[in-house]
Amino acid sequence: MPDRITAEQVEKRLFCFIHSHRNTMHRYFQSIGMFNGHPHMLFHLRRHPGITQRELAALLDISPASVTISIKRLEAAGLVRRKKQGRQMHLYLTDEGNAMDAACARGRDFMIEHLYQGLTEEELSTLHTLLEKMTDNLQRTCAAMDTAKEETP
């Protein structure tokens, strides 16, 4: 009978997986001239043409200042354009931005195709269920931490 797997061992394995996944995607995105986080921005800009920077920041759950820096880089690279409408600045992908988003999608698709290779439908379903439970646990933990902070004098 194999040794009992502990939550700490699973956490360590999960960390290694996340680190490896992130590095693999970073290497691919870097090879096509993208910074970390920018592919995700392009993804949302394509799906929400005309979104404002503030809306994009809320959607990505990052600071408006971070969005501003990234948008400036994407604009300088010719991937994004801003268009003033009324008092607000709206964001759109250029043709080059759409092409870059498509290249990013090809990399994500390639990763997904190879990452889940050999997993059965049942294993994928189990993994999905476990990740949902873990996400729920994290959300409850975050809420409990916020409550504990509020109660601390």
Kindly state the average pLDDT of the residues 61-89.
94
Task: Collapse the DSSP code of 1 into the 3-class scheme (helix H, G, I; strand E, B; otherwise coil) and give the result.
Answer: coil
**Dist. CA 150–CA 153, nearest whole Å:** 8
Burial class (CB in 10 A: 0-12, 13-18, 19+), 6: exposed
Residue 124's pLDDT is 96
User: Is the per-residue pLDDT at 35 higher than 90?
Assistant: no
**Dist. CA 16–CA 8, nearest whole Å:** 12
Structural tokens at position 129:
């269920």
User: Is the per-residue pLDDT at 152 higher than 70?
Assistant: no
User: Is the per-residue pLDDT at 36 higher than 80?
Assistant: no
**Dist. CA 49–CA 53, nearest whole Å:** 11
Kindly state the average pLDDT of the residues 118-137.
96
Residue 1's pLDDT is 54
Residue 7's pLDDT is 93
